[in-house]
């Protein structure tokens, strides 16, 4: 007769103990799995949020408070907010810049450099003090590129110097230039995705320099201090802003986006590097002026400025040269 190691009573008792234990282990495993899934999802969400934040930062720009509302103040100066039919304090009437023919005042700078115009010495309105009095800044004469630097012009620089081609900070798949070349249909579009150093290196190569914030505003606003290159009334069709096709356009293709001195695309197309340091933060940060194909009325106004930190798909540049 076989020897029974465990009685039926004992076996039943063991079963009573084992079954709850198995259930408890199953619950523990389920809870553990749940928390692991939650942690995994949290990590994925965190990665997505970080990626989005990086994508925003690669735009390289942050709008300054001077364009945030109608009572803006920066450095003790106030700035108006664009609105239809706006007549600025200290300026007679709404104003309208000529869109064709000879610039109001500005000499073709063939005696200085090709494709530039001379901006004579003069004042521009930097803003208004607390009493509503215009604060004017005097700028010495200089010549400035009529158009933004194009892909074709920048390619000449790249080939001649071995400088690296423009690269989108978001990664290779976003690059406009591929294998060191730009798309042929973008030859006369402004070059973008260039850093401040890239722009400065190009300017030195062509024996020019980048404009200061004050020079850029003087070239934009003319003697009458217009809010836009064409006058004081905002017109979404006058420049390549966010009412356009959503990308760069051939330089000079918006005839009304032409300053009184004959300089094109100061309101729209792409934002532009200046040599003026941004008011706070790293000295590597620069003031960026002008609106882009992504900007509306406030971004296209002559008062708007941004913080330039790195290359961006909506950021290019133009050059200036001291008057002789």
pLDDT tens string 57-109:
444 444 433 333 333 445 677 777 776 555 555 443 344 433 333 344 444 43
pLDDT at 138: 94
pLDDT at 16: 55
Residue 207 backbone class (left: φ over 0; alpha: ψ -120 to 50; beta: rest): left
Hey, what are 304's tokens?
């708007």
CA dihedral 99, 103, 104, 106 (to 10 degrees): 150
Residue 304 forms part of a structural domain? yes
Residue 44 forms part of a structural domain? no
CATH of the domain at 232: 3.90.1580.10
* Site of tokens 């961006």: 312
Domain count, the chain: 1
**pLDDT at residue 52 above 70?**
no
**pLDDT at residue 176 above 50?**
yes
pLDDT at 53: 55
For 30, phi then psi, to 5°, come to: -65, -45
Hey, what are 145's tokens?
């590129």
Residue 148 forms part of a structural domain? yes
Residue 76 forms part of a structural domain? yes
Residue 203: strand, helix, or coil: helix
pLDDT tens string 137-149:
999 999 999 999 9
* Site of tokens 């706006």: 86
Return the closest-CA partner of residue 188 out of 160, 161, 151.
151
Contacts of 237 (CB under 8 A, 6+ apart): 243, 256
Residue 9 forms part of a structural domain? no
pLDDT at 190: 98
Whole-number Cα distances in Å, 105 to 90, 120, 224: 20, 8, 11
Residue 8 forms part of a structural domain? no
Residue 311 forms part of a structural domain? yes
Q: In what order do the strands lie in the sheet with 134-139?
A: 72-74, 77-79, 122-128, 134-139
Hey, what are 262's tokens?
């004959």
Residue 46 forms part of a structural domain? no
- Please give the residue range of the domain that contains residue 191: 58-322
DSSP symbols for 7-20:
-HHHHHHHHHHHHH
pLDDT at 225: 86
| 260-267 mean pLDDT | 96
Whole-number Cα distances in Å, 273 to 4, 37, 319: 92, 47, 9
Band (pLDDT 50/70/90 cuts) for residue 48 is: confident
């Amino acid at each position: 007769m076989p020897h029974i190691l465990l009685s039926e009573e004992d076996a039943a008792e063991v079963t009573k103990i084992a079954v709850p234990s198995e259930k408890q282990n199953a619950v523990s495993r389920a809870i553990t799995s749940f928390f692991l899934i939650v942690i995994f999802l949290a990590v994925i969400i965190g990665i997505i949020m970080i990626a989005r934040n990086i994508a925003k930062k690669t735009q390289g720009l942050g709008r300054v408070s001077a364009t945030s509302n109608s009572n803006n103040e920066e450095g003790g100066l106030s700035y108006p907010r664009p609105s239809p039919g706006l007549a600025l304090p200290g300026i007679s009437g709404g104003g309208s810049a000529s869109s064709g023919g000879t610039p109001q005042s500005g000499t073709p700078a063939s005696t200085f450099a090709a494709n530039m115009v001379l901006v004579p010495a003069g004042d521009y309105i930097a803003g208004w003090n607390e009493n509503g009095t215009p604060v004017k800044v005097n700028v010495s004469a200089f010549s400035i590129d009529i158009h933004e630097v194009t892909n074709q012009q920048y390619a000449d620089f790249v080939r001649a110097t071995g400088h690296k081609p423009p690269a989108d900070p978001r990664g290779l798949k976003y690059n406009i230039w591929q294998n060191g070349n730009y798309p042929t249909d973008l030859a006369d579009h402004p070059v973008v995705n260039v850093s401040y150093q890239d722009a400065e290196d190009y300017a030195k190569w062509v024996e020019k320099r980048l404009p200061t914030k004050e020079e850029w505003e003087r070239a934009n606003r003319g003697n009458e201090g217009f809010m836009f290159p064409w006058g004081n009334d905002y017109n979404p069709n006058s420049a390549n802003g966010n009412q356009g096709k959503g990308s760069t356009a051939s330089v000079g293709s918006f005839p009304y986006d032409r300053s009184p001195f004959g300089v094109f695309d100061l309101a729209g197309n792409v934002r532009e590097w200046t040599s003026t340091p941004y008011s706070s933060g790293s000295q590597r940060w620069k003031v960026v002026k002008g609106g882009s194909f992504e900007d509306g009325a406030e971004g296209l106004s002559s008062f708007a400025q941004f913080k330039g930190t790195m290359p961006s798909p909506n950021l290019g540049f133009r050059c200036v040269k001291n008057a002789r």
